[in-house]
Structure formats: structure tokens, C-alpha cells
Amino acid sequence: MDMSDKSRCHRWAHIKTGMVLAERLILDKYYEQLLNDVKADTVVEHLMNKEIITQDESTEIFSTLRNNEQMSTLIDFLVPKSGNVLDEFVESLKPKNEQVYQQMHQDYQAAKADILANKPQGLPYCNNILRERYSTAYAKWNPIPWYTKVETDIAEFYCQQQLLNLNGKSVNAFQVFDYKEGEKDPHTVVIEGDPGTGKSTLAKYMAYKWSLDENVFGRPFQLLILLDLKVTAPTVKVMMMEQLFGGDCKLAEREIWEVMNMHQASTLLIIDGYEDNLNDEMKSLLFENIMPELHILVFSQTNFTVRLMHRYQRKVILTGFAKSQAEEYVQKYVKLAKKPWEHFSSFLNKLVVAKKSTELQKLLDAAKKSQEPQRRRGSSESATSVTSAKPRDERPLERENTDKVSTKLSRSSSKGQGNDQQQQQDSNGENSNQSKIASLRHYSQVPLYCSFFCLLTDMRMSIDLNSPTTIVEQFVSCIKLKLIEREKESRFEANRAYAMLSERAMDTIKKGSATFILAKEDHMMTKFGLIQLATNLTAEDNQRYMFGNRLIQEYLAAKNLDTSGTDEASRFFQNMSMTPISYNVVVFYCSIRKSDNDTPATRELFAKILQYNKRRGKASRMKMPAATSPEDSQLVEGKIMDYQLSLECVAVMDMARRDLGKKIVESLPERFTVKHEGIIPRLSLTGLSKMIKFNHTTIQEVDLRLDLLAKETLEAYKSLATAMKTNVHIKTLRIYWTEKDLMADFLQTVCCPEPEDPANSTGQMEIRRKKPDQTGFHLKNLECIDESGKKLDQLSPKMLNNMREACSNMTKLETFAFQNCHHMSLVGSIIKNLPTKFADNLRILDFSGCQMSIVASQDLNGKLMESKSLEGLILANLKIDAMAFNTFIAAFSSNRTIVLLDLSGIRLDNVCFFSLSEALKINNKLEKLFLRQVPMDTRACKEVARILKINKMLKLLTVTQEVVSEEGRRVLGEESQTETRKNRAVVDGIGVEYRQRPTNERANTKRNPLSVK
């Protein structure tokens, strides 16, 4: 094709993508004939059916009345498209324009060889474009946007992040699609994380590593398509063109889509920002399974993936930096930003937990030496607290506390008393210092907060760790000061640009869009380093921006809401949808209005929350089965994440109006479930603790899970346990645990009293606990369910001590259940340490599913002998040998309180049945005996029949027909039909059931196993 041919296509020279030159020359040759002879409506319908022309394009084509203008617009739409577009256009001419069709078809066939020669091969071509795109974009990447001239390779700056599966175990980011033999290939994986934990950074890092090695995920993904949903587009095809394939791409949107479809199994689609708006095509990919073999990795903010629950096969939690990576991040930050080490030495000393590396130690030593001349000049600066990031503070942060506090000190002189008081103050100050260091380390595990601390430290500003809101406030103030210093702008201009940026943040929240347009005169807003250009490779004049992090966007929106006045805030709360997308804005607003919260806007907000909570309660009530009697009535149940907004708002506010707090507390369900598929937010737990301390709380039962993920918010769980200790309304606690140490610690906090103040009037110091009956322990029902399945792991002395203290204070319990624990030492320890007064109130004791040793059975025997109130003993599915069983069952001969014995699922031999029958010959109190799923041969059935014959109080015996021998069923059936039994007992489960009618006894005793008339 010579230059004269190229010059003839000048009309489409500005279009860089789409049809190749040979195709354009054919269109150019017949251009005038097409405009004059072909009716647009005769071809548009065909092209729409082939999905070449969209509905919007069709509307624009027919927006003019003249046919030649319609055809001109149509051709202009066709040229940027590639694939078989020209082929379909020529075919559309055939029905109504035979002559033009024949001419164009002939030329098209003649030029086809040239066309095909210029067509790229789909998969290799897309692979090369994507690898080039990622390797180029992230080889020069700015991880510190407030330093505009800083660029680095993403792999050089990246610090390892911590990913946890739902069991709390660490997961490698590049092994999220791994599966074991016999498991299904997980095609959809979700990575959840709070704002600022580094989801977008991890997605980019994955794409960059793939561009260097296609097998980085352990399998050969030939295509990796990373799409940022914050940059909205009508279809996935358009998003791919705008974000990845724009510019000089020789393939059309449809062709790239076809390549994806043909190579689904070797394509990985990474979706960043799932919480943002999903277009219809993305919904089809995620929910309608239109590409079933496609591998999809979804990055989402926490609690936004409810709709995906039945679509993904695996969920992983991103918590932030992995262990010791925060200090590595600070080192890389200092090196990249080219800042003096002495500014960061104090901050790094606080962060480092493990032994410092040799290189880091040298840097810190050099920084310390550089500060010595400043000290010799006699600077009178006082040593700052841990909350200060000023580098001049070089006093030891983790001073060894050599003071030993004894439980009793002898009387001393007034001077000695003064020394004791000074030591106590020093100890309290040290504890406070250590607590602040712990808070600093905790927040620094979140990459965004760690970058904030680096900037604050560099600018020599203090770090207030009171709440996330105060941290962001300090950071934003620092950013404004930095802008004034760097750009020499006035404070007025900086504040004006900041106010406008806050308005943009509020607008994007209201519209549900992450991007916005900036005019050229508003360009100063980009200098803060808080926003960035929205990636769009196909737009010529790109002025669309988006916030670099959602946390910043939500804080600025809340700040704008606060400064806009109470009327504007009230309108926002009235129109607000009660979905997680607006939660952080509301919580930031409440935190900003922490004390000054008695306004019309906050009243409107709490009215909205109250209305939402009541709707949740009503919905839960409607799902409950109708109660046939007061005994069957159930409590309204609610999950903690359903009440997240109300909990977090209460957590950050000082409730100036007690009536508002009272109404919110009273709107909570009676049974509260603290369980979630992931990490429960710290603020939600803090808010629940705060609400439980209210006197008007309606919560009566609490179910919670203590697993490895709970360790991520350990302090919040401890606060919850402390709050439950003081609440007289909570009567039932159920703990589902996998971490025995965490369970024991929680129980110890709930059950044991707080130490009294150590100082007394004589100057002596004593640490003593209140007597058990003065503890304030109000629980009536306690259930601990082991979900770990572990048998042989070690029991730490601290754990055993916590369990011993907890058990010794359980004096008011009426029901105690410790279920499914296979650790015999732990079960034995619990039985051994149950208090003597335990027997005065206890009605039901449940060790179902546990594994019990002979020593534990002897201890249980002793407890049964001491029992004064025990009515039900549940040992269903107990793992116990015959000797241990015979040991504790002997206690039944003298027991005069137990009316229910559940031995379902236990493997008993004939000797055990003999021991059981011997014990029940003398016992005259047992009314119910459950032997469900207990295999019984004829001899065992005869022993049971002997029980029925001799024991005159037994009213219900339940067995399972399928595991009873045929002769045994006959023996039991005959015994149940004898005249002596007809007015007393029911033998249930062998096809024969008789019940005395006047008792009006219901067959279903599941609700209350002790309800026997």
C-alpha cells in the first residue's frame, strides 16, 4: 500500500484504532455511493443484531432526518471498530442494495489477504499488550503522592502484606487459587479488607509480578486483566479498552472479549473496588456465570460481598502489613523520600518489636550521634510522650521495669510512703506509655496509617492516637501545611482548595461515583496529593480524577457535611441509604461531632438508625416460628454486622442526650450474635461494649466466636468481656471457640472480679480479689462449644490458671455446657475446678461430644454425689471407655436430683448396660433416659427392659430402632406393652409408643428437656 493510498483515508486519520488500512480504503472508495444509495435503517437493524452497533449509537444515528447524514454517522461509528465489522456491514447491504453489495463484496474478497496479514493473533497480541502495560505503568510508580517527583519500581517499595483465611491462618497472596487433590478449583476468590489496608496496591503488585512471570500464581495464566471499578464505564469491554488496551490497540472491544471467552481457563480477571458501582456486564460475569471457567479475584471493602456469598469459593482477609513489615515500610519511605534518618529514629524505635537488623541498627546509631551536639547545646525540650513523633525525644521507650510490686508491704515512714506513691505514679506512667506504644504499632500495621505517621514524623508534628478520625485530621492538617510550604501558596488559597476538595468528596458519595471532573482553574486541588487521574487510555482530554484512597474520600465528605450546616446534614441523613457504602462517612461525622452531638442533624441520624434497627428486629421476628406456649417462645436474634452502624456511631460519640442512647440500646435484639465470616470491626465491638454497659439494654443472650481472626481485635474482645461482667440483664453466654487460650482469657475476664485498689489508708499495697459471691457474676447459662477439633496440643500454665479462676467463680450458673472438646486434660481440669457452691444452683450439666478420662469421670462422680439441685446430665456422643463410664454411673444409685440422663451416641458394651441397670434399680428420681443412636444387642435390650420393669419413676425412654437388634426390639416392645407399664412410661423409637393421655404432655421436649409432667 503506497503513500497515495494512505492519503485517500484522510477523513479517518485521527482514529488510531479499529479497521486496518485496507478496510478503510474500501469504505472510502464507496463512501459517496453509500451515502446516496443506501438507506440507513436497512442496515442498522442487522448490525445491532450482530452487536456491532449499540442502542445508544443507533439513537445518535437517527437523531438527524437526512439519510446521508445518518449513513455518515454510521460509518464513523464503524471505522473505530475491528474484527468482522466490515464483513457484516457488507452482508447487511445484500437484501436491499444488491448492486452495491456485489461491488463491495468483490473488492473486500480481493483485499482480504492484505487484511488478514495486518490482523494480529488474538491471545499472543493481548498477552504482549497487557505485560507491556503493567511493566511500564508500575516500573515508575509513585507510592507517596504528596511527594510529586518520587517514582520507584513497585516491587522495590512493596512490603509484604498479611492475608488470613477464614480459619485465621496465613495465606500467600500468590497461592489464593491453590487447591488440594480432591478439591474443586476455586474460580472466584474474594479478598476483603478495610480502607487503607493496601488492596489496590496488592492488586497492582500482582499484575506487575505477572508481567514478569506468567506462572507467578502457580499456574500459567496467559491473560491477567486488572480492572479498577472506581473508573466507571457502561460495559466491561469499554473498561478494558479505556484502562488497558487503548491507544494503538489493533483489536476491537468485541475481539478482546472473544479472546477472553475462548481462553477462560487461562485468564485471570482481577476486580479492584468491588464496592463501587457494577455495570450490567460485570454483574453477568459475577452472578450469571457467563464465563464459567474464568478465574476471578475480587478486591472489596469489608462487608460488601454479601451478594457474592453463593458465587465465590474462597474468601481471604487482608489485614495490612505482615509481621515486622511496618518498620521496613518506614525504612523504604525514608530512603525514597530522601529524608534524614534522625527525623525517624524515635518513631522506628517504637515500631520495632523483634531484634533490629544490622543495617537498621547502624542507621539508628548514626542518627543518634547526629543528635548529640543538639543536646550539648542545652536544648530545654522536655521528653515527649509516646504520642509525640518529634525526633528529639531519644529517651528509652521500653525501659525495663525493675520495680517489684509485692502484694503486702510493711508500714513505713512518711518518707517511705512518699517513695511508694512515686513508684506507683512511675508504674502507672510506664503502663500508659506501653499502652500508647501498642496503639502506635497497631495502627502502623495499616499501610495508609503508617504512611500518615511517616509524614507527621517528617513534619515534626505530634501523633494523637485517640481514634482513626484524629489520625486522619492530623494528616490532612499536615498536608495543608506542606502545600503552603512547598507551593508558597497562602493559607487562604490552601483552605479554599481543601474546602472545594471536600465538596467533591461529598458529591461523589451522594452520586455513588468515585470519579469527578476538575476544571483547569481548580488544578490546585491536585497538589494535595489526595487525588489522582482516573486511568483512561482512549480519552484525548482526560480531566477525570478520583481519590487515591476511599478512607480519605469518606473523611473529607464527613468534614464537608459538618461544615455545611445542620440543615444540609439533616437532608443527607434523610436521603441516606442504610448500606455499608455510607457507613464510614456517618461514623467519621459522629466522631467529628463527638461531644457536640445534640443537634437536629444527629437527632435525624439516630432516628434513621432507630427505624432501621426496628425493621431488622421486625424481620427477625417474622422469621421465627409461632410459639404454641410461653415455654416455646424464642428471643429475637440479631447479628452484629446487621447493627454495625448504630454500634460504631455510639462507639465514637459521647452521648450528650441519654434518651437517644437509651432508645438505640433498647432497639437491639434480645439475643445478640457476635459471629461473622471475617474480622469483626474493632469499632463495632467497642460500640457493643458501650451499649452493654447501659442499664436499659435489652440484650439477654450473647453468642460469640473466638477464633484466630478474633486475635486481630483482641483488646476489643477483652473490653466486651469486661462490659458483660457488669450487665445484670445478660443471662446466657455461648462461646464457639477454636483458640482455647482466647476462650480461657475471655471466661476469666467475664467470671472473675476486678482487683481492688491496691493502696489503703495505712500506706500498704494489697492486690486481692473480692469473694466469689460479691463478684457481680450474673450469668445463669454458659455454653462453650469447641470447634477446633484438636486433641493433643499443649495447655499453657496461663490458660489452665485462667480456666481455674473462671470455674471457681461460676457459683450462680443454672446451666453449664462444655461441648465437643477432645482434649481430655482440659475437660478434666474444668470438672475438677467446678466450685462446691456450683452444686447449689446448677440444674443442667452438659459435656456432650467431649472426650473424658477415667480421672475426670471420678471427679464427675464426686460432683454428682455433692449435687443438690442438678436435674439434667447430658453426655450425648461422649468419648469414654467402659471403665470410666462404670466409674461415674455408679453415682446414680445415690443421686436424688437428676431427672434426665442423655447418653445418646455413646458406644456402650453389655457391662456398661449392666452397670446402668444396677444404678437405676436404686435410683428413684430419673424420669427421662435418652439412648438415641446407641447400638444395642439382645442382651443390652434385656438390661434396659430390666430398668423399665424395676424403676417405677422412669417416664420416657428413647432409642433408635435402626441400631437395635431385631430380637432386642421385640424385648423392648413387649416390656412397653405390659399392663404394669401402660400408665407410666413411653418407649420411643422402636415403632411402639404409648403415652398416658391425661398428662397432656407434648412429644417435642427439645425446647426444655426437663419438662416432664
How much is the pLDDT for 879? 92
566 pLDDT exceeds 90? no
Torsion of CA 275, 281, 283, 284, to 10 degrees: -160
Please report the pLDDT score of residue 349 as a whole number.
Answer: 82
Contact 823, 790 (CB under 8 A): yes
Q: Which domains does the chain have, with CATH numbers?
A: 3-119 (1.10.533.10), 123-321 (3.40.50.300), 566-625+634-730 (no CATH)
378-401 as b/e, with b when 16 or more CB fall inside 10 Å?
eeeeeeeebebbbbbbbeebeeee
Confirm if 380 and 361 have CB atoms less than 8 A apart: no
Rg of the chain on CA atoms, in Å: 36
Task: Measure the CA–CA gap between 857 and 873, rounded to whole angstroms.
Answer: 13
pLDDT at 210 over 60: yes
Q: What secondary structure letter does DSSP report for 770?
A: P
Grid cell 452502624 is found at 645
Amino acid sitting at position 592: I
% of the chain with per-residue pLDDT over 70: 81
The 8-class DSSP code of residue 984 comes to: T
Q: Kindly indicate the confidence band of residue 991, based on its pLDDT and cuts at 50, 70 and 90.
A: low
Residue scoring higher pLDDT (662 or 30) = 30
Strands (E), 502-619: 515-517, 531-533, 544-547
pLDDT tens figures, 472-491? 999 999 988 888 877 676 78
Assigned C-alpha cell, 80: 473505530
Pairwise CA distance, residues 485 & 475, whole Å: 15
- For 199, residues 6+ apart whose C-beta sits below 8 A from its C-beta are 191, 193, 272, 299, 300, 301, 318
Q: What is the reported pLDDT for 661? A: 73
Q: Is the pLDDT of residue 720 over 90?
A: yes
Helix, strand or coil for residue 774? helix
Per-residue CA distances from 253 to 74, 83, 245, 706 (Å): 17, 9, 9, 49
Instruction: Pick 448 or 465 by higher pLDDT.
Output: 448
% of the chain surpassing 90 pLDDT: 30
- Name the packing angle between helices 67-78 and 40-49 (round to 10°): 30
Is the pLDDT score of 763 beyond 90? no
Show the 3-state SS of 878-938.
CECCHHHHHHHHHHHHCCCCCCEEECCCCCCCHHHHHHHHHHHHHCCCCCEEEECCCCECH
- Could you tell me the strand order of the sheet in which 295-301 lies? 161-165, 314-321, 188-193, 295-301, 267-272, 223-228
β pairing state of 637-639 and 671-674: parallel
CA-to-CA distance for 188 and 288, rounded, in angstroms? Answer: 13
Kindly give the pairing relationship between strand 815-819 and strand 844-846.
Answer: parallel
Condensed to tens digits (0 to 9), the pLDDT of residues 666-681 reads 888 999 999 988 899 9
The most confident of the ranges 167-171, 597-601, 761-765, 766-770 is 167-171
CA dist., res. 975 & res. 973, Å (int): 5
Q: Are 217 and 210 in contact (CB under 8 A)?
A: yes
Reported confidence tier of residue 924, pLDDT bands at 50, 70, 90: confident
From residue 762, give the alpha-carbon distance in Å to each of 405, 409, 411: 16, 10, 7
Distances 430 to 142, 424, 427 between C-alpha atoms, Å: 39, 10, 5
At residue 910, does pLDDT exceed 60?
A: yes
Strand partners, 931: 959
3 state SS of 334: helix
| Most confident range, picked from 211-225, 369-383, 587-601 | 211-225
Most confident of 105-109, 220-224, 466-470: 220-224
pLDDT for 411 beyond 70: no
Average pLDDT of span 173-192? 91
DSSP lists the bridge partners of residue 765 as 759
Distance CA 879, CA 893 (A): 22
User: In this predicted structure, which of 210-219, 307-316, 720-729, 800-809 has the lowest mean pLDDT?
Assistant: 307-316
Q: Calculate the CA dihedral of residues 442, 444, 448, 452 and round it to 10 degrees.
A: 120
Q: For the CA atoms of 279, 282, 283, 287, what is the dihedral angle to 10 degrees? A: 180
HSE value, Cβ hemisphere, 13 Å, CA-based, for 468: 24
830-862 pLDDT per residue, tens: 999 888 766 678 899 999 999 998 899 888 888
Which residues have CB under 8 Å from 763's CB, separation 6+?
409, 411, 412, 416, 417, 420
| Three cell numbers, residue 424 | 506507683
Instruction: Indicate the pLDDT class of residue 905, thresholds 50, 70 and 90.
Output: very high
Strand pairing class (314-321; 161-165): antiparallel
Question: Which of 119, 128, 123, 122 is CA-nearest to residue 21?
Answer: 119
Q: Which pTM value belongs to this model?
A: 0.80
Q: Of how many residues is the chain composed?
A: 1013
Q: 503502663: which residue's cell? A: 431
Q: What pLDDT score does 673 carry?
A: 93
What Cα–Cα distance (Å) separates residue 560 from each residue in 470, 553, 557, 564? 16, 11, 5, 6
Residue whose C-alpha cell is 467533591: 504
Name the average pLDDT for the chain. 81
d(CA 912, CA 936): 11
Average pLDDT over residues 222-228: 93
- Residue 313: CB partners within 8 Å, gap ≥ 6? 184, 186, 187, 188, 189
Angle between helix 583-592 and 600-623 (nearest 10): 140
Q: Per-residue confidence at 869, pLDDT binned at 50, 70, 90?
A: confident
d(C-alpha 949, C-alpha 953), whole Å: 10
Residue 387's pLDDT band, with cuts at 50, 70 and 90, is very low
Q: What angle do helix axes 468-487 and 447-458 make, rounded to 10 degrees?
A: 50
What does the pLDDT average to over 84-110?
87
Cβ–Cβ < 8 Å for 272, 260: no
How far is residue 263's CA from residue 124's CA, in Å, rounded to a whole number?
A: 11
Looking at residue 213, its amino acid is D
Tens-digit pLDDT profile for residues 2-17: 444 444 456 777 776 6
Q: Which three cell numbers stand for residue 656?
A: 450528650
DSSP per position, 832-852? HH--TTHHHH--EEE-TT-B-
No. of helices (H) and no. of strands (E), the chain: 38, 21
237 has a pLDDT exceeding 70: yes
| Residue the block writes with cell 505514679 | 425
pLDDT range class, residue 430, cuts 50, 70, 90: low
pLDDT beyond 90 at 627: no
When pLDDT is averaged across residues 917-922 and rounded to a whole number, the result is 84
What is the per-residue pLDDT for 397? 30
Question: Parallel, antiparallel, or unpaired: how do β-strands 844-846 and 223-228 relate?
Answer: unpaired
Mean pLDDT of 243-254: 77
- What is the pLDDT confidence band of residue 687, given thresholds at 50, 70 and 90? very high
Examine the pLDDT at 456 and tell me if it is beyond 80. yes
